[in-house]
Amino acid sequence: STASAIIGLAGAAFLLLDHASEGSVTAAVGLASGVYSHQLSKEAADRQKRANERLDHMLQELQAMQSTH
């Protein structure tokens, strides 16, 4: 993500200028990556839920059509 890239670049700059330790930069980049991964996971779960709801609705319509024939 953009935020992860910015944090990574800022961390690299701080390392080059000796304003931050490797551990601090690693922790910050790791945290940003974790937040982004969590966001992707939540979005995927939401898409899956919507797809399941659409499929359930389609199944109900199909069953209703079959019961009328």
On whether the pTM is more than 0.75, the answer is: no
- Structure tokens of 52? 């399941």
Residue 69 DSSP symbol: -
- Residue range 18-64, pLDDT digits in tens: 887 888 878 888 888 888 889 999 999 999 999 999 999 999 999 99
DSSP string for residues in 12-48: HHHHHTTSS-HHHHHHHHHHHHHHHHHHHHHHHHHHH
Compute the CA torsion angle 44, 47, 52, 57 (nearest 10 deg). 180
